[in-house]
Structure 1
Amino acid sequence: MDELVERVDDQDRGLGAVVSRRQAVREGWLHRVAVTVCRDERGRILVHRRSEHLSRFPGRYEVLVGGAVNAGESYEHAAARELAEELGVRVRPRLLFTFLNRSGVSPHWLGVHEAVAPDTVTADPGEVAWHAWLTEPQLRSALREWNFTPDSHEAFNRYLAFRATRP
């Protein structure tokens, strides 16, 4: 079953139209996606490789965990739901910022969160083929060498810039 999302405008305001995510992607309609950068207590960042069975970017690496914001759902609730579904982690992600992302399969508003997660996660094999905790230097190297999703590069660079402005 396809997810139902709300169409939004270029200011991230709801248009009152609920459509399938598949249709939103096909038509290039703006909608919302919530993602989380997961850190552990030592500050390492979770990186994972997407399952080969996924329709979007199979087998590519990601620094973000997330998915579509369902119609009527907040960015924060969607981020928490996705963490539970994909990693078996029940934590409260904190929304850091949103931006209009045009680097994926279709344009969408991306709500970027951060969460501290336990070292041990129970990844859903239908979503996650492999995962590991990397330090920031290791992740910077991986971003140059591995095949990451388009969203990962831009969102992670924005995440680092955001963190640099905060104490």
Structure 2
Amino acid sequence: MSAHPESELLAVYDAAGAVIGAAERGTVYREGLWHASAGVLVRSTDGHRIYVHRRTDSKLVFAGLHDCLAGGVVDAGEDPADTARRELREELGITPDADTPITLRATASWDGSWAGRPLRCHLFGYEIRSDGPVHHQPSEIADGWWWTDAELRAHLADPAWPFVPDTRILLGELLAQ
């Protein structure tokens, strides 16, 4: 990540999901341009637990909310699968070896709003099987823990639980795997 996150160049997409250019992160967020994000659901190797975390209060988008995907926006010239691997390494300190698959499990588009501005994003949801160890990037992750699918679903059933809204779109497919 650059010293000035708002000046990072992100891939800009059209509404159909094709890359059409690049723009600075700040411009993408201010103007509500279509972009993409990739996130990785970390499921334990036995398949019974999911890693859930809380984002720091200093994040530009969805600050302080809970999430179960390590992820971020697709940089200019970057493939979403590469974004997923990069974010997994940066946010949770998990670096899979070449034999560990990161599998695309779900895609969707989200045309919503955040902080009173439109936020339009194509979402790529991946999964990896790993037991860690997990090492949080302090500027991005405030805390984290392992939950069963049932524990995560119970929290998601509470509309007052502060959870990242775009991840909710992918969770039905990701948890059904």
TM over 0.5: yes
Query: Which of 61, 81, 93 is the equivalent residue of 1:76?
Result: 81
Partner of 1:155: 170
Partner of 1:102: 111
The answer to whether the 8 Å contact 1:49/1:128 transfers is yes
Partner of 1:54: 59
The answer to whether the 8 Å contact 2:74/2:80 transfers is yes
Q: Deviations over 1:98-131 (max 9, x none)?
A: 2211246301111111111223201111111110
Post-superposition offset of 1:41: 1.2
Q: Deviations over 1:15-50 (max 9, x none)?
A: 1x2101221121111111111111011221110001
Instruction: Tell me the secondary structure at the aligned position of residue 137 of structure 1.
Output: helix
- In 2: Cα distance, 1:38 partner to 1:104 partner: 27
Partner of 2:146: 133
Would you say how many aligned residue pairs link Structure 1 and Structure 2? 161
Post-superposition offset of 1:132: 0.6
Confirm or deny that 1:142 pairs with 2:155. Answer: yes
Q: Which runs of 5+ in 2 are unaligned?
A: none
Q: TM-score, normalised by structure 1?
A: 0.89
Partner of 1:36: 40
Instruction: Tell me the secondary structure at the aligned position of residue 168 of structure 2.
Output: helix
- 1:128 partner amino acid: I
The answer to whether the 8 Å contact 1:104/1:151 transfers is no
Runs of 4+ that moved beyond 6 A: none
Query: Which of 118, 124, 129 is the equivalent residue of 2:131?
Result: 118
Post-superposition offset of 1:155: 1.7
- 2:122 partner amino acid: W
- In 2: Cα distance, 1:41 partner to 1:98 partner: 23
- In 2: Cα distance, 1:22 partner to 1:10 partner: 19
- In 2: Cα distance, 1:45 partner to 1:104 partner: 27
- In 1: Cα distance, 2:134 partner to 2:151 partner: 20
Q: Which runs of 5+ in 1 are unaligned?
A: none
Q: TM-score, normalised by structure 2?
A: 0.84
The answer to whether the 8 Å contact 2:104/2:124 transfers is yes
Instruction: Tell me the secondary structure at the aligned position of residue 34 of structure 2.
Output: coil
Post-superposition offset of 1:76: 0.5
